[in-house]
Structure 1
Amino acid sequence: MTFTLATWNINSVRLREGLVARLMAEESPDIICLQECKSPVEKIPVEQFQALGYRYMVARGEKGYNGVAILSKLPLMDAGERDFAAMGHARHVAARLENGVTIHNCYVPAGGDIPDRELNPKFGQKLDFLTDMREWCRWDKPDRSILVGDLNIAPREDDVWSHKALLKIVSHTPVEVEHLNQVMEAGSWQDITRKDIPEGLLYSWWSYRAADWDAADKGRRLDHIWASPDIANAAHSSRILRPVRGWLQPSDHVPVFATFDL
Protein backbone atom coordinates (compact mmCIF):
# COMPACT_ATOMS: atom_id res chain seq x y z
CA MET A 1 0.00 0.00 0.00
CA THR A 2 1.22 3.47 -0.91
CA PHE A 3 -0.50 6.43 0.71
CA THR A 4 0.14 10.13 1.13
CA LEU A 5 -0.60 11.76 4.45
CA ALA A 6 -1.00 15.45 5.32
CA THR A 7 -1.11 17.16 8.71
CA TRP A 8 -2.56 20.65 9.14
CA ASN A 9 -3.56 22.85 12.05
CA ILE A 10 -6.69 24.26 10.45
CA ASN A 11 -7.65 26.74 13.22
CA SER A 12 -11.40 25.95 13.00
CA VAL A 13 -12.59 23.29 10.59
CA ARG A 14 -16.03 24.87 10.34
CA LEU A 15 -14.68 28.31 9.53
CA ARG A 16 -12.20 26.87 7.01
CA GLU A 17 -14.25 24.01 5.59
CA GLY A 18 -13.66 25.44 2.11
CA LEU A 19 -9.89 25.44 2.54
CA VAL A 20 -9.90 21.79 3.62
CA ALA A 21 -12.05 20.94 0.59
CA ARG A 22 -9.70 22.90 -1.68
CA LEU A 23 -6.70 20.96 -0.36
CA MET A 24 -8.59 17.71 -0.90
CA ALA A 25 -9.50 18.66 -4.46
CA GLU A 26 -6.11 20.07 -5.48
CA GLU A 27 -3.67 17.77 -3.64
CA SER A 28 -5.81 14.69 -2.90
CA PRO A 29 -3.80 13.17 -0.04
CA ASP A 30 -5.16 9.82 1.07
CA ILE A 31 -5.27 10.91 4.72
CA ILE A 32 -5.56 14.37 6.27
CA CYS A 33 -4.91 14.89 9.96
CA LEU A 34 -6.35 18.15 11.31
CA GLN A 35 -5.66 19.90 14.59
CA GLU A 36 -7.39 22.77 16.39
CA CYS A 37 -10.70 21.84 14.79
CA LYS A 38 -12.60 23.86 17.42
CA SER A 39 -15.74 21.80 16.96
CA PRO A 40 -17.68 19.00 18.58
CA VAL A 41 -17.32 15.88 16.45
CA GLU A 42 -20.98 15.89 15.44
CA LYS A 43 -20.65 19.41 14.00
CA ILE A 44 -17.60 18.76 11.81
CA PRO A 45 -18.87 19.42 8.25
CA VAL A 46 -18.29 15.93 6.86
CA GLU A 47 -20.72 16.03 3.93
CA GLN A 48 -18.45 18.01 1.58
CA PHE A 49 -15.44 15.95 2.61
CA GLN A 50 -17.28 12.70 1.97
CA ALA A 51 -18.32 13.94 -1.46
CA LEU A 52 -14.63 14.42 -2.24
CA GLY A 53 -13.87 10.82 -1.31
CA TYR A 54 -13.00 11.13 2.39
CA ARG A 55 -15.59 8.68 3.63
CA TYR A 56 -13.85 7.76 6.90
CA MET A 57 -13.25 9.92 9.95
CA VAL A 58 -11.93 9.36 13.44
CA ALA A 59 -12.08 12.45 15.64
CA ARG A 60 -12.24 13.93 19.10
CA GLY A 61 -13.69 17.39 19.62
CA GLU A 62 -14.88 20.05 21.99
CA LYS A 63 -16.78 23.28 21.50
CA GLY A 64 -14.60 26.21 20.49
CA TYR A 65 -11.23 24.74 21.45
CA ASN A 66 -8.66 22.12 20.53
CA GLY A 67 -9.99 19.10 18.61
CA VAL A 68 -8.28 16.57 16.35
CA ALA A 69 -9.60 14.67 13.34
CA ILE A 70 -8.29 12.10 10.87
CA LEU A 71 -10.08 12.18 7.50
CA SER A 72 -9.33 9.34 5.11
CA LYS A 73 -10.10 7.85 1.74
CA LEU A 74 -8.77 4.57 3.12
CA PRO A 75 -10.70 2.46 5.60
CA LEU A 76 -9.57 2.96 9.18
CA MET A 77 -10.79 2.15 12.63
CA ASP A 78 -10.79 4.15 15.84
CA ALA A 79 -7.76 3.26 17.97
CA GLY A 80 -8.57 5.45 20.95
CA GLU A 81 -7.12 8.54 22.52
CA ARG A 82 -4.88 9.58 25.39
CA ASP A 83 -5.45 12.47 27.76
CA PHE A 84 -1.84 13.54 28.22
CA ALA A 85 -1.25 15.39 31.50
CA ALA A 86 -4.92 14.76 32.40
CA MET A 87 -5.92 18.11 30.90
CA GLY A 88 -9.31 16.88 29.73
CA HIS A 89 -8.69 18.33 26.27
CA ALA A 90 -9.30 16.81 22.83
CA ARG A 91 -5.63 16.79 21.84
CA HIS A 92 -4.94 13.22 20.68
CA VAL A 93 -6.70 10.62 18.60
CA ALA A 94 -5.43 7.44 16.97
CA ALA A 95 -6.68 5.45 13.99
CA ARG A 96 -5.52 2.14 12.54
CA LEU A 97 -5.35 1.35 8.83
CA GLU A 98 -6.16 -2.09 7.43
CA ASN A 99 -2.43 -2.77 6.98
CA GLY A 100 -1.94 -2.42 10.75
CA VAL A 101 -0.31 1.03 10.69
CA THR A 102 -1.49 3.27 13.53
CA ILE A 103 -1.68 7.01 13.01
CA HIS A 104 -1.46 9.25 16.07
CA ASN A 105 -2.73 12.80 15.58
CA CYS A 106 -1.52 15.18 18.31
CA TYR A 107 -2.02 18.80 19.23
CA VAL A 108 0.51 19.85 21.87
CA PRO A 109 -0.47 22.92 23.94
CA ALA A 110 1.01 26.19 22.71
CA GLY A 111 2.23 27.10 26.18
CA GLY A 112 1.35 30.79 26.45
CA ASP A 113 3.81 33.65 26.10
CA ILE A 114 6.13 33.38 29.12
CA PRO A 115 8.54 30.39 29.23
CA ASP A 116 8.33 29.96 33.01
CA ARG A 117 5.97 27.50 34.67
CA GLU A 118 5.88 29.53 37.89
CA LEU A 119 4.74 32.68 36.10
CA ASN A 120 2.72 30.96 33.39
CA PRO A 121 0.75 27.78 34.24
CA LYS A 122 0.14 27.15 30.52
CA PHE A 123 3.86 26.65 29.99
CA GLY A 124 3.92 24.14 32.82
CA GLN A 125 0.99 22.29 31.23
CA LYS A 126 2.89 22.09 27.96
CA LEU A 127 5.95 20.58 29.62
CA ASP A 128 3.77 18.15 31.59
CA PHE A 129 1.97 17.12 28.39
CA LEU A 130 5.32 16.34 26.74
CA THR A 131 6.55 14.48 29.81
CA ASP A 132 3.44 12.31 29.73
CA MET A 133 3.98 11.69 26.00
CA ARG A 134 7.53 10.62 26.79
CA GLU A 135 6.38 8.13 29.41
CA TRP A 136 3.74 6.73 27.05
CA CYS A 137 6.40 6.17 24.38
CA ARG A 138 8.80 4.66 26.92
CA TRP A 139 6.34 2.09 28.25
CA ASP A 140 4.29 1.47 25.12
CA LYS A 141 6.98 1.40 22.46
CA PRO A 142 5.33 2.33 19.16
CA ASP A 143 5.66 0.02 16.19
CA ARG A 144 4.22 0.43 12.69
CA SER A 145 3.18 3.87 13.83
CA ILE A 146 3.09 7.41 12.45
CA LEU A 147 2.80 10.40 14.77
CA VAL A 148 1.78 13.72 13.25
CA GLY A 149 0.47 17.06 14.33
CA ASP A 150 1.01 20.55 15.58
CA LEU A 151 3.62 19.81 18.23
CA ASN A 152 4.09 23.55 18.85
CA ILE A 153 7.89 23.28 19.02
CA ALA A 154 10.46 24.12 16.38
CA PRO A 155 13.37 21.96 17.56
CA ARG A 156 16.26 22.76 15.21
CA GLU A 157 18.11 25.99 14.66
CA ASP A 158 17.05 25.94 11.01
CA ASP A 159 13.41 25.36 12.00
CA VAL A 160 13.10 29.05 12.95
CA TRP A 161 13.88 32.31 11.20
CA SER A 162 16.40 33.26 13.91
CA HIS A 163 17.73 30.83 16.47
CA LYS A 164 19.30 33.61 18.54
CA ALA A 165 16.19 35.81 18.54
CA LEU A 166 13.86 32.96 19.52
CA LEU A 167 15.87 31.24 22.26
CA LYS A 168 13.67 32.84 24.91
CA ILE A 169 10.45 32.67 22.89
CA VAL A 170 7.93 29.89 23.61
CA SER A 171 8.17 27.14 20.94
CA HIS A 172 11.97 27.28 20.63
CA THR A 173 13.29 27.49 24.18
CA PRO A 174 15.94 24.93 25.18
CA VAL A 175 13.68 23.34 27.81
CA GLU A 176 10.90 22.74 25.26
CA VAL A 177 13.31 21.36 22.68
CA GLU A 178 14.77 19.03 25.28
CA HIS A 179 11.32 17.79 26.25
CA LEU A 180 10.43 17.14 22.61
CA ASN A 181 13.72 15.35 22.01
CA GLN A 182 12.99 13.12 24.98
CA VAL A 183 9.65 12.15 23.45
CA MET A 184 11.42 11.31 20.19
CA GLU A 185 14.12 9.29 21.92
CA ALA A 186 11.66 7.39 24.12
CA GLY A 187 9.76 6.19 21.07
CA SER A 188 12.78 6.04 18.74
CA TRP A 189 10.71 8.26 16.46
CA GLN A 190 12.24 9.43 13.20
CA ASP A 191 11.57 12.96 11.93
CA ILE A 192 10.41 12.17 8.41
CA THR A 193 10.35 15.75 7.15
CA ARG A 194 13.98 16.28 8.09
CA LYS A 195 14.94 12.83 6.86
CA ASP A 196 13.77 13.91 3.42
CA ILE A 197 14.81 17.59 3.68
CA PRO A 198 17.84 17.47 5.96
CA GLU A 199 19.25 20.94 5.34
CA GLY A 200 18.00 24.50 5.14
CA LEU A 201 15.40 26.74 6.71
CA LEU A 202 12.00 25.09 6.86
CA TYR A 203 8.78 26.56 8.25
CA SER A 204 5.13 25.49 8.58
CA TRP A 205 3.78 28.46 10.57
CA TRP A 206 3.81 32.23 10.13
CA SER A 207 2.20 34.56 12.67
CA TYR A 208 -0.97 36.49 11.94
CA ARG A 209 0.73 39.49 13.53
CA ALA A 210 2.98 40.18 10.54
CA ALA A 211 1.55 42.75 8.14
CA ASP A 212 3.09 40.80 5.26
CA TRP A 213 3.92 37.28 6.40
CA ASP A 214 5.57 36.35 3.10
CA ALA A 215 7.90 39.35 2.97
CA ALA A 216 8.81 39.15 6.66
CA ASP A 217 9.18 35.35 6.45
CA LYS A 218 9.56 34.95 10.20
CA GLY A 219 8.40 31.36 10.27
CA ARG A 220 8.77 28.31 12.49
CA ARG A 221 8.44 24.58 11.80
CA LEU A 222 5.84 23.62 14.40
CA ASP A 223 4.10 20.82 12.45
CA HIS A 224 5.70 17.41 12.24
CA ILE A 225 5.47 13.93 10.76
CA TRP A 226 7.31 11.20 12.67
CA ALA A 227 7.47 7.45 12.09
CA SER A 228 8.52 4.50 14.22
CA PRO A 229 11.89 3.08 13.14
CA ASP A 230 10.41 -0.08 11.62
CA ILE A 231 8.61 1.93 8.92
CA ALA A 232 10.66 5.15 8.70
CA ASN A 233 12.54 3.96 5.63
CA ALA A 234 9.22 3.52 3.81
CA ALA A 235 8.60 7.28 3.96
CA HIS A 236 9.56 9.70 1.22
CA SER A 237 8.47 12.77 -0.79
CA SER A 238 8.08 15.13 2.16
CA ARG A 239 6.96 18.66 1.38
CA ILE A 240 5.44 21.72 3.04
CA LEU A 241 2.80 23.67 1.12
CA ARG A 242 3.90 27.23 1.84
CA PRO A 243 1.50 28.80 -0.73
CA VAL A 244 -1.49 27.70 1.38
CA ARG A 245 -0.59 30.43 3.89
CA GLY A 246 -1.57 32.90 1.18
CA TRP A 247 -5.06 31.47 0.58
CA LEU A 248 -8.07 33.62 1.49
CA GLN A 249 -8.71 33.67 5.27
CA PRO A 250 -5.96 31.13 5.92
CA SER A 251 -4.84 29.27 8.99
CA ASP A 252 -1.49 30.48 10.30
CA HIS A 253 -0.22 26.93 9.69
CA VAL A 254 0.22 25.15 6.35
CA PRO A 255 -0.05 21.45 5.49
CA VAL A 256 2.94 19.13 5.77
CA PHE A 257 3.01 16.01 3.55
CA ALA A 258 4.78 12.67 3.39
CA THR A 259 4.23 9.50 1.35
CA PHE A 260 4.62 5.97 2.74
CA ASP A 261 5.11 2.72 0.82
CA LEU A 262 3.71 0.10 3.17
Structure 2
Amino acid sequence: MAAQANAAPVIIKRKKVVKGGGHHGGAWKVAYADFVTAMMAFFMLMWLLNATTEQQRQGLADYFSPSIPIMRVSGGGDGALSGDSIFSEMTLPKSGTGASAPDQAGEGQDASSGPDVDGENERFKVVDETLMGRGGESMVMDELKRHVVTKVTDEGMVIELFDVEDTTLFKPETDKPSPLLEQLLYVIADATKVVVNDISVASHVRSNPIVAIENPVWDLSSQRATVARLILEKYLDNPKRIQKVIGYADRKPETENPMEVRNNRLQVILLRQ
Protein backbone atom coordinates (compact mmCIF):
# COMPACT_ATOMS: atom_id res chain seq x y z
CA MET A 1 0.00 0.00 0.00
CA ALA A 2 2.85 2.40 0.77
CA ALA A 3 4.36 1.78 -2.66
CA GLN A 4 1.12 2.64 -4.35
CA ALA A 5 0.80 5.88 -2.40
CA ASN A 6 4.15 7.11 -3.73
CA ALA A 7 3.40 6.20 -7.39
CA ALA A 8 3.33 9.09 -9.94
CA PRO A 9 -0.15 10.13 -11.00
CA VAL A 10 -1.27 9.05 -14.47
CA ILE A 11 -2.11 12.08 -16.73
CA ILE A 12 -4.36 11.38 -19.69
CA LYS A 13 -4.27 13.96 -22.52
CA ARG A 14 -7.31 14.16 -24.78
CA LYS A 15 -6.85 15.89 -28.17
CA LYS A 16 -9.86 17.65 -29.62
CA VAL A 17 -10.21 16.67 -33.26
CA VAL A 18 -12.14 19.14 -35.44
CA LYS A 19 -13.72 17.29 -38.33
CA GLY A 20 -14.36 20.26 -40.64
CA GLY A 21 -12.08 19.35 -43.52
CA GLY A 22 -15.03 18.47 -45.72
CA HIS A 23 -16.12 22.09 -45.75
CA HIS A 24 -12.65 23.65 -45.81
CA GLY A 25 -13.50 25.64 -42.71
CA GLY A 26 -16.24 27.61 -44.62
CA ALA A 27 -13.80 29.23 -47.05
CA TRP A 28 -15.78 27.81 -49.99
CA LYS A 29 -18.66 30.08 -49.09
CA VAL A 30 -16.51 33.18 -49.51
CA ALA A 31 -15.19 31.94 -52.84
CA TYR A 32 -18.71 31.16 -54.06
CA ALA A 33 -19.95 34.61 -53.02
CA ASP A 34 -17.07 36.22 -54.95
CA PHE A 35 -17.96 34.13 -57.99
CA VAL A 36 -21.65 35.11 -57.86
CA THR A 37 -20.73 38.79 -57.44
CA ALA A 38 -18.39 38.62 -60.43
CA MET A 39 -21.09 37.00 -62.57
CA MET A 40 -23.60 39.69 -61.57
CA ALA A 41 -21.12 42.41 -62.49
CA PHE A 42 -20.42 40.72 -65.82
CA PHE A 43 -24.10 40.45 -66.79
CA MET A 44 -24.72 44.04 -65.68
CA LEU A 45 -21.82 45.17 -67.86
CA MET A 46 -23.21 43.29 -70.86
CA TRP A 47 -26.64 44.84 -70.26
CA LEU A 48 -25.18 48.35 -70.02
CA LEU A 49 -23.24 47.91 -73.26
CA ASN A 50 -26.45 46.93 -75.02
CA ALA A 51 -28.81 49.44 -73.40
CA THR A 52 -26.79 52.67 -73.44
CA THR A 53 -25.52 55.07 -76.07
CA GLU A 54 -21.87 55.88 -76.69
CA GLN A 55 -22.25 59.19 -74.88
CA GLN A 56 -23.85 57.52 -71.84
CA ARG A 57 -21.06 54.95 -71.74
CA GLN A 58 -18.54 57.80 -71.81
CA GLY A 59 -20.32 59.33 -68.82
CA LEU A 60 -20.12 56.03 -66.90
CA ALA A 61 -16.44 55.71 -67.75
CA ASP A 62 -15.81 59.27 -66.54
CA TYR A 63 -17.61 58.55 -63.27
CA PHE A 64 -15.41 55.57 -62.41
CA SER A 65 -12.16 57.18 -63.59
CA PRO A 66 -10.48 59.18 -60.79
CA SER A 67 -8.19 60.93 -63.24
CA ILE A 68 -10.99 62.63 -65.19
CA PRO A 69 -13.26 65.29 -63.68
CA ILE A 70 -16.92 64.32 -63.52
CA MET A 71 -18.80 66.82 -65.67
CA ARG A 72 -22.47 67.25 -66.46
CA VAL A 73 -21.83 67.53 -70.16
CA SER A 74 -20.30 64.04 -70.43
CA GLY A 75 -23.07 62.25 -68.60
CA GLY A 76 -25.26 61.53 -71.62
CA GLY A 77 -28.02 63.56 -70.01
CA ASP A 78 -31.29 64.81 -71.42
CA GLY A 79 -30.65 68.53 -71.77
CA ALA A 80 -32.47 71.30 -73.55
CA LEU A 81 -31.44 69.99 -76.97
CA SER A 82 -31.27 66.26 -76.16
CA GLY A 83 -28.11 66.73 -74.08
CA ASP A 84 -25.84 67.72 -76.98
CA SER A 85 -24.63 71.25 -77.49
CA ILE A 86 -21.69 73.42 -78.37
CA PHE A 87 -21.05 73.68 -74.63
CA SER A 88 -20.12 70.00 -74.42
CA GLU A 89 -17.87 70.27 -77.48
CA MET A 90 -15.95 73.18 -75.98
CA THR A 91 -15.64 71.79 -72.44
CA LEU A 92 -14.75 68.13 -72.93
CA PRO A 93 -11.55 68.82 -74.89
CA LYS A 94 -10.29 70.91 -71.96
CA SER A 95 -10.74 67.94 -69.59
CA GLY A 96 -8.96 65.56 -71.93
CA THR A 97 -11.98 63.45 -72.88
CA GLY A 98 -12.41 64.71 -76.45
CA ALA A 99 -15.60 65.82 -78.14
CA SER A 100 -18.91 64.12 -77.44
CA ALA A 101 -19.72 63.41 -81.08
CA PRO A 102 -17.80 63.11 -84.34
CA ASP A 103 -18.15 65.79 -86.97
CA GLN A 104 -20.56 64.72 -89.67
CA ALA A 105 -20.40 68.00 -91.56
CA GLY A 106 -16.74 68.99 -91.71
CA GLU A 107 -13.56 67.00 -91.99
CA GLY A 108 -14.46 64.27 -89.51
CA GLN A 109 -12.52 65.86 -86.65
CA ASP A 110 -13.85 67.10 -83.35
CA ALA A 111 -13.60 70.46 -81.64
CA SER A 112 -10.52 69.45 -79.66
CA SER A 113 -8.38 70.08 -82.75
CA GLY A 114 -10.31 73.06 -84.09
CA PRO A 115 -8.85 76.56 -84.23
CA ASP A 116 -10.15 79.31 -81.99
CA VAL A 117 -9.18 82.56 -83.67
CA ASP A 118 -9.82 85.55 -81.38
CA GLY A 119 -12.14 83.57 -79.13
CA GLU A 120 -14.42 82.41 -81.92
CA ASN A 121 -15.61 79.42 -79.91
CA GLU A 122 -16.83 81.81 -77.22
CA ARG A 123 -18.92 83.64 -79.82
CA PHE A 124 -20.31 80.32 -80.97
CA LYS A 125 -21.24 79.65 -77.37
CA VAL A 126 -23.22 82.90 -77.31
CA VAL A 127 -25.15 81.73 -80.38
CA ASP A 128 -25.83 78.40 -78.69
CA GLU A 129 -27.09 80.07 -75.52
CA THR A 130 -29.30 82.38 -77.55
CA LEU A 131 -30.73 79.44 -79.47
CA MET A 132 -31.30 77.30 -76.40
CA GLY A 133 -32.50 80.16 -74.22
CA ARG A 134 -30.12 79.52 -71.31
CA GLY A 135 -30.26 83.20 -70.37
CA GLY A 136 -34.05 83.37 -70.24
CA GLU A 137 -37.11 82.11 -72.04
CA SER A 138 -36.17 79.57 -74.69
CA MET A 139 -36.42 80.65 -78.31
CA VAL A 140 -36.93 77.01 -79.26
CA MET A 141 -40.33 75.71 -78.23
CA ASP A 142 -40.49 72.36 -76.46
CA GLU A 143 -41.91 70.53 -79.49
CA LEU A 144 -38.97 71.77 -81.59
CA LYS A 145 -36.14 70.87 -79.23
CA ARG A 146 -36.01 67.21 -80.12
CA HIS A 147 -35.15 68.08 -83.72
CA VAL A 148 -32.03 70.14 -83.01
CA VAL A 149 -28.48 69.38 -81.90
CA THR A 150 -25.43 71.68 -81.96
CA LYS A 151 -21.70 70.97 -82.05
CA VAL A 152 -18.41 72.65 -82.90
CA THR A 153 -16.05 71.28 -85.55
CA ASP A 154 -12.99 72.46 -87.47
CA GLU A 155 -15.38 73.92 -90.04
CA GLY A 156 -17.37 75.93 -87.52
CA MET A 157 -20.51 75.69 -85.42
CA VAL A 158 -22.95 73.09 -86.74
CA ILE A 159 -26.68 73.46 -86.01
CA GLU A 160 -28.27 70.21 -87.13
CA LEU A 161 -31.98 69.68 -87.73
CA PHE A 162 -33.23 66.13 -88.21
CA ASP A 163 -36.33 64.01 -88.70
CA VAL A 164 -37.86 61.90 -85.95
CA GLU A 165 -40.20 58.98 -86.52
CA ASP A 166 -43.47 60.89 -86.09
CA THR A 167 -42.42 64.33 -87.41
CA THR A 168 -40.39 65.20 -90.49
CA LEU A 169 -38.80 68.39 -91.81
CA PHE A 170 -40.02 67.78 -95.35
CA LYS A 171 -42.93 65.91 -96.82
CA PRO A 172 -41.53 62.35 -97.18
CA GLU A 173 -39.38 61.82 -100.27
CA THR A 174 -39.98 65.40 -101.50
CA ASP A 175 -38.47 68.86 -101.11
CA LYS A 176 -41.74 70.33 -99.76
CA PRO A 177 -40.90 71.91 -96.37
CA SER A 178 -43.10 71.38 -93.34
CA PRO A 179 -44.32 74.24 -91.12
CA LEU A 180 -41.96 72.81 -88.48
CA LEU A 181 -38.94 73.40 -90.72
CA GLU A 182 -40.04 76.99 -91.35
CA GLN A 183 -40.22 77.60 -87.60
CA LEU A 184 -36.87 75.99 -86.93
CA LEU A 185 -35.05 77.97 -89.60
CA TYR A 186 -36.65 81.20 -88.40
CA VAL A 187 -35.36 80.54 -84.87
CA ILE A 188 -31.88 79.64 -86.15
CA ALA A 189 -31.65 82.71 -88.40
CA ASP A 190 -32.66 84.93 -85.48
CA ALA A 191 -30.08 83.32 -83.14
CA THR A 192 -27.23 83.70 -85.64
CA LYS A 193 -27.70 87.48 -85.83
CA VAL A 194 -25.41 87.86 -82.83
CA VAL A 195 -22.41 86.96 -85.04
CA VAL A 196 -21.31 87.86 -88.56
CA ASN A 197 -19.89 84.50 -89.68
CA ASP A 198 -20.66 83.24 -93.17
CA ILE A 199 -23.07 80.32 -93.41
CA SER A 200 -23.08 76.96 -95.18
CA VAL A 201 -26.21 74.86 -95.69
CA ALA A 202 -25.88 71.08 -96.09
CA SER A 203 -28.54 68.44 -96.65
CA HIS A 204 -28.39 64.70 -96.02
CA VAL A 205 -31.02 62.08 -96.83
CA ARG A 206 -31.46 58.47 -95.87
CA SER A 207 -30.77 55.62 -98.27
CA ASN A 208 -33.54 54.05 -100.30
CA PRO A 209 -34.40 50.41 -99.50
CA ILE A 210 -34.34 49.64 -103.23
CA VAL A 211 -31.66 51.08 -105.51
CA ALA A 212 -33.31 52.39 -108.67
CA ILE A 213 -31.58 52.88 -112.00
CA GLU A 214 -31.53 56.60 -111.24
CA ASN A 215 -31.05 56.98 -107.51
CA PRO A 216 -32.93 60.15 -106.44
CA VAL A 217 -30.89 60.84 -103.29
CA TRP A 218 -28.49 63.26 -104.96
CA ASP A 219 -31.20 65.43 -106.48
CA LEU A 220 -33.34 65.26 -103.35
CA SER A 221 -30.57 66.35 -101.00
CA SER A 222 -29.56 69.21 -103.32
CA GLN A 223 -33.16 70.37 -103.66
CA ARG A 224 -33.72 70.29 -99.90
CA ALA A 225 -30.54 72.28 -99.29
CA THR A 226 -31.75 74.90 -101.77
CA VAL A 227 -35.18 75.11 -100.10
CA ALA A 228 -33.49 75.59 -96.71
CA ARG A 229 -31.32 78.35 -98.20
CA LEU A 230 -34.35 80.18 -99.55
CA ILE A 231 -36.11 80.05 -96.18
CA LEU A 232 -33.01 81.25 -94.33
CA GLU A 233 -32.55 84.13 -96.74
CA LYS A 234 -35.98 85.44 -95.76
CA TYR A 235 -35.00 85.70 -92.09
CA LEU A 236 -31.26 86.44 -92.05
CA ASP A 237 -30.07 90.00 -91.46
CA ASN A 238 -27.83 89.64 -94.53
CA PRO A 239 -28.75 86.88 -97.03
CA LYS A 240 -25.30 87.15 -98.62
CA ARG A 241 -23.86 85.44 -95.55
CA ILE A 242 -24.81 82.12 -97.15
CA GLN A 243 -21.69 81.01 -99.03
CA LYS A 244 -22.20 77.29 -99.67
CA VAL A 245 -25.17 75.02 -100.38
CA ILE A 246 -24.33 71.31 -100.49
CA GLY A 247 -26.27 68.09 -101.02
CA TYR A 248 -24.50 65.03 -99.59
CA ALA A 249 -27.16 62.49 -100.67
CA ASP A 250 -26.88 59.39 -98.43
CA ARG A 251 -23.08 59.34 -98.33
CA LYS A 252 -22.66 60.37 -94.68
CA PRO A 253 -25.26 58.51 -92.60
CA GLU A 254 -25.60 59.48 -88.96
CA THR A 255 -26.65 55.99 -87.81
CA GLU A 256 -25.48 52.46 -88.51
CA ASN A 257 -28.65 51.80 -90.50
CA PRO A 258 -28.48 54.21 -93.47
CA MET A 259 -32.25 53.87 -94.05
CA GLU A 260 -33.27 55.28 -90.64
CA VAL A 261 -35.19 58.57 -90.72
CA ARG A 262 -32.58 60.15 -88.42
CA ASN A 263 -30.36 60.38 -91.50
CA ASN A 264 -32.74 62.91 -93.05
CA ARG A 265 -31.19 66.11 -91.76
CA LEU A 266 -30.13 69.66 -92.53
CA GLN A 267 -27.03 71.37 -91.22
CA VAL A 268 -26.71 75.13 -90.87
CA ILE A 269 -23.00 75.79 -90.31
CA LEU A 270 -21.51 79.03 -89.02
CA LEU A 271 -18.20 78.98 -90.85
CA ARG A 272 -15.00 79.96 -89.09
CA GLN A 273 -13.66 83.31 -90.23
User: What is the TM-score when the length of structure 1 is the normalising length?
Assistant: 0.35
Which structure's residues are more often helix, by fraction? 2
> With CA pairs under 8 Å and 6+ residues apart, which has the higher RCO, 1 or 2?
1
TM-score by length of 2: 0.34
Structure richer in strand, relative to its length? 1
> For the pair shown, which has the larger CA radius of gyration, 1 or 2?
2
